Amino acid sequence: MNDYFDTLETRAPEVREKALLAALPTHVSHAQTRAPYFAQVLAEVDAKDIGSRDALASLPVTRKSDLSAYQVRHPPLGGMNVTPLGGLAHVYQSPGPIYEPDGRGSDWWRFARAMFAAGLRPGDLVYNTYSYHFTPAGMMIETGAARLGCCVFPAGVGQTEMQLDAIRHLRPVAYAGTPSFLKILIEKSEAARADIGCIRRATLSGEALPPSLRDWFKARGITARQLYGTADLGLIAFESDAQAGLIVDENVLVELVEPGGTKPVPLGEIGEVVVTNFNPDYPLIRFATGDLSAVEAGISPCGRTNMRLRGWLGRADQTVKVRGMFVHPGQIGEIGKRYPELVRLRLRVEGRVGDDRMRLICETNATPPEGLAARVQETLREVTRLRGEVDFVAAGALPTDGRLVEDARAYD
């Protein structure tokens, strides 16, 4: 495609950089004076001096992994919101738990840009399989689609037979959801000889999209494009038809820093994705996502001129994403607290992306009592909202490396 969402996408890189940096002092001042968290964290900062990347790099980092603790101490949003609850549309919860606001403006999470790059156009029917409850993913797609003039079918996940019936009847042209659930729907349709070939475009997130799975979709006539965002920040970056990295959104400023640290890494090196947004309701400054990536040199062949990320290259901490849901080490620790007969735990995520399997390995000092495995399995599902198997091993069988979560999936 040769058209763009707006003229911002093709402006000269130096023009974009100048505009973003010029907006920084006002944004920092706004957060300082109206968000209690940033009033404390940036108390010694003179906002008018924060007008360059070097000055921005001197500010402290706020880590996504710390949000839950902040919010427990200062409910409901850790003092990071400027707009009070009465001025917001929703508050959502992601695993952690972490709570995120949703404002009242059009396309508040800015997903329309990524959806446009994926080929969605006014009048398209979007089959949205993201959840609309607890997490905001469903609404992110909903509001982006509304901005584009698209209609949405709010499908959610599960109930695959009903989903196939709805797709056959409605004939949507676009799918929004995780790669793994789209694969499940296609496999079910092929087994049932149900025609869902109406789906020609897919905007995918929540999981990695390995080349083999992208090719699998392509063989079935589906153009699959990735978007990268979080419930806190909204859109961070997206893929275009060039398939040459993830193009950073026009309304954020992205840094790559030393994993777990605050210092930017040299261009091209792998670092942790740190984002400053320009959201007046929820102004996040140097927000560390925990994701690893690297900057691709040059400009995308599609003509969009913003910074490009190489894609998802792992996690700076032990957090993993399984079937579109984050699983945190703290959640595994919580399971251990509930069962004193378990000595140590490790969650092992196995299989391939799109076919994730969780296995909770539990050390015990004695033969587990009858029914313990079923109880632990139910707790695992309650805490993570995902199904997994439970295995018992003798005390000392697990490595003493401090890890609670191990990602052992194949990503090729």
Predicted local confidence at residue 403, as pLDDT: 72
Those residues with Cβ within 8 angstroms of residue 176's Cβ, 6 or more apart along the chain or in another chain: 115, 126, 127, 128, 129, 130, 141, 145, 202, 203, 204
Arithmetic mean of pLDDT over the chain: 93
Q: Are 31 and 38 in contact (CB under 8 A)?
A: yes
CA angle (312 as vertex; 57, 244 as ends), nearest 5:
95
Summarize pLDDT for 119-173 with one digit per residue, the tens. Answer: 999 999 999 999 999 999 999 999 999 999 999 999 998 889 999 999 999 999 9
Distance between CA atoms of residues 8 and 16, nearest Å: 8
63 DSSP β-pair partners = 288
Q: Is the pLDDT of residue 334 over 50?
A: yes
For residues 103 and 89, give the distance between their C-alpha atoms in angstroms, rounded to a whole number.
Answer: 5
Q: What is the mean pLDDT of residues 194-205?
A: 96
Does residue 339 contact residue 360 with C-beta atoms inside 8 Å?
no
pLDDT number for residue 318: 75
pLDDT at 329: 76
How large a percentage of the chain has pLDDT more than 90?
76
Name the nearest CA neighbour of 332 among 297, 306, 363, 303. 363
| 330 vs 348: which has the higher pLDDT | 348
C-alpha 373/C-alpha 391 separation (Å) is: 8
The DSSP result for 186-227, as a single string, is: HHHHHHHT---TT--EEEE-SS---HHHHHHHHTTT-EEEEE
Here the tokens at position 303 are: 């003509």
Whole-model pTM? 0.81
| Residue 402 reports pLDDT greater than 80 | no
Q: Could you check whether the bond before residue 97 is cis, i.e. omega within 30 degrees of 0? A: yes
At 219, phi and psi to the nearest 5?
-65, -20
Count of alpha carbons within 13 angstroms of residue 347, beta-carbon side: 31
pLDDT of residue 344: 86
Q: How far is CA 170 from CA 108, 197, 220, in A?
A: 27, 12, 19
Q: List the one residue out of 356, 305, 396, 346 whose CA is nearest residue 19.
A: 305
How many residues does the structure list for the chain?
Answer: 412
> What pLDDT was estimated at residue 1?
44
- Four-residue CA torsion sign, 183, 189, 190, 191: positive
CA distance 47 to 265: 24
**Superfamily designation of domain 322-407:** ANL, C-terminal domain (3.30.300.30)
